[in-house]
Amino acid sequence: MVQQPPVVPNTHPSIGVGTWAWGNQLLWGYDPAQDGQLEACFHRAVELGLRFFDTADSYGTGRLNGRSELLLGGFCSALPEARRRDITVATKLAPFPWRLGRRGFGKAFAASQRRLQGKLDRVQLHWSTARYAPWQETPLLEGLADLVQQGLVGELGVSNLGPLRLQQVHHFLAARGVRLSSVQVQLSLLAPEAIGPQGVASFCTELGIELIAYSPLALGLLGRWPGESPTFPPGLRGLLFRRLWPKVQPLLHGIARIAVERGVEPGAVALNWCRSHGALPIVGMRDPAHAEGAAAALSWHISRKERMMLDQLALTSSARMPSNPFQSP
């Protein structure tokens, strides 16, 4: 089949909504009593023009597994049809060890469709198995390509693929006549590897693949002002923040200088740094204020000088987010 021409990525992508916290008790302290607040957050995000919503079939702790999709599907179903069509819902399917073969995602895809009440625009491979079970990945990708070609879902994306595997998957799918729409990687000022000379970002530009940045605020750390006596969140996030706090101060001071000059919050600077590198950052949101803060970042663009200053700080900083163990080369 003829390979489809690449799509030129947007110079200043929008901002997406992440729903990892919707159902996650371990890291985010989810409680079902928060559902009304999450619904208000969803509708405020849509009102403000945020159109990309990212979820996964594994989001939700323990018995709440799938809760994120369930909530998002319900919220979408309450929208007027025209508004519902206007947003993109992308879910990720986890390549658990028991999901094998070309039909390994069949039941999982059907379950996600049910929870999302049919509003599923893009299906994504949640992570690569290239490091530990390379034989598992290609049949699963074949099955995802089948879903696109059968018209069951419009777009196909991947997540946690490095540049080598990304190129291989792109060419594999192109031979099937299926376009690879996007790749999600951890990208922030505390995880800048994707923007390096041989990073994923350069290959996304070359191949016409949308680059999506998850954890663009480093679990919220990059939304803070520098200071001596901060209040840390409870649990695992607090442990990470305490470890990184002393090392991240030079970077936070650089972010703060831009934020003060621009009259914005630090998080807006961190998000616009991602956008300046051609990435669509997906921001975890749990209340309307989060949606308003993210939407405010869309009103301006970071300058070349500001970006270069932040690039230098990020690439020379000793503070780093933990890398994803499932990230492929």
Say if residues 190 and 251 touch (Cβ distance below 8 Å).
Answer: yes
Closest alpha carbon to 138 in 106, 165, 116, 109? 165
CA separation for the pair 134, 136 (Å, rounded)? 5
Closest alpha carbon to 111 in 120, 102, 98? 120
Tracing tokens 């490091």 back to the chain, one arrives at 131
- Two structure tokens written together for 104: 């390994």
Residue 211 phi, psi dihedral angles, 5° rounding: -95, 125
* SS3 of residue 122 by DSSP: strand
Q: How many residues does this entry show for the chain? A: 329
- Two structure tokens written together for 42: 């969803």
Indicate the residue type of 40: A
Residues noted as catalytic: 59
Say if residues 185 and 159 touch (Cβ distance below 8 Å).
Answer: yes
Closest alpha carbon to 233 in 22, 25, 27? 27
Torsion angle, alpha carbons of 93, 95, 101, 102, to 10: 30
Cβ neighbors of 127 (< 8 A, separation 6 or more) are 94, 95, 159, 160, 324, 326, 327
